[in-house]
Amino acid sequence: MSQHRGRLIAASLGPGDEGLITRKAWQALQSDALWCYPVRRKGGSSHALGIVQRTELSTPHDAMELVFPMTHDTEVLSRAWARAAAQIVPVLQAGRDVVFLVEGDASTFSTFTYLARFVGQSDVNIVVEIIAGVPSYHAAAASAAIPLAETDDMVAIVPAGYGVAELEHLLPHFDTLVLLKVKPLLDDIIRWLSDNDLLEHAIFIEKAGAPEERMIRNVASLAGETVNYLSLILVRNRNRQRGTMIRGCKKKDGVVENPAFRLSRDKKRAATVKRSAPHGESYDK
């Protein structure tokens, strides 16, 4: 074992457009470091490797796939992380750097987090370096030509798997909701957007930044459709009640209600009264 350890480097590659690979990640890819890339099953395709393959770089002959199954079973995942760490730790202990290819940015919902943790448990002297990249929601906002935040706006990045009840809880507090991994709950989310008068302020983006990117502004048209796992929805919450701001700090006394929110709230109340009228009558005559 060499006293000099190689570095474990996360090369964040962005969401799919090879033009979004940073110069620092590009330099890491061109070094003599061992490439490692994630796959869901042995011999399967890798979205991260595919990003690099769209460049002029050739995949090194000794590039190593690391298998991380698509599951929520923590025992299965723990075994996969431990197995992957065991594959690369000897390389690092021999003094060679290892570059792990990461789609998007390695600091956000990335398998690299767990890989680095297990590597550190095996050898505390191995240095971990993370090269920042462009997250999918930044690329999606750029493609849609919309801001994620303006001035003092508040932004929430939410895995949609928590369900619409959690979204309902977050809605009053954020001006933008970035809903990730929307595939399993897409129909529920569409109904929730409709109930909150947010459909016209929502944009669906599939495979943001990749050549196959698909953007749908009429989100309601996706009802019943099976979408790709790499899908998200950007929601601009125009109806949020805002506190008045003084030099960037929220004023303690008094809240100014957005007129659009008041109108939306009154429409909901009127619709509720109409539905509750007996014998098919309407109270809003």
Amino acid at 258: N
- Using DSSP, state whether 155 is helix, strand or coil: strand
- Mean local confidence (pLDDT), 74-90: 96
> Which of the four pLDDT bands, split at 50, 70 and 90, describes residue 268?
low
Q: Say if residue 75 is exposed, middle or buried (CB neighbours under 10 Å; 0-12, 13-18, 19+).
A: exposed
pLDDT in tens, 16-25: 999 999 999 9
Whole-number Å distance between alpha carbons of 116 and 100:
10
pLDDT surpassing 90 at residue 97: yes
Helices (H) and strands (E) in the chain, counts: 8, 12
Map tokens 């962005």 to a residue. 14
Q: Would you tell me how many other CB atoms lie within 10 Å of the CB of residue 239?
A: 21
Tokens 């749908």 belong to: 216
How confident is the model at residue 155, as a pLDDT?
Answer: 95
What is the average pLDDT score of the chain?
A: 88
Q: CATH classification of 137-236 is 3.30.950.10, yes or no?
A: yes
pLDDT digits (tens, 9 = 90+) for 188-230: 999 999 999 999 999 999 999 888 999 999 999 999 999 998 9
- Between 111-122 and 74-93, two packed helices, what is the crossing angle to 10 degrees? 60
Residue 276 has pLDDT above 50, yes or no: no
Res 280 pLDDT > 50 = no
Is 137-236 in the same CATH topology as 8-134?
no
Residue 85 parent element (H or E)? helix 74-93
Better pLDDT: 243 or 218:
218
Per domain, the residue ranges of the chain are: 8-134, 137-236
Which is the CATH superfamily of the domain at 8-134?
Answer: Tetrapyrrole methylase, N-terminal domain (3.40.1010.10)
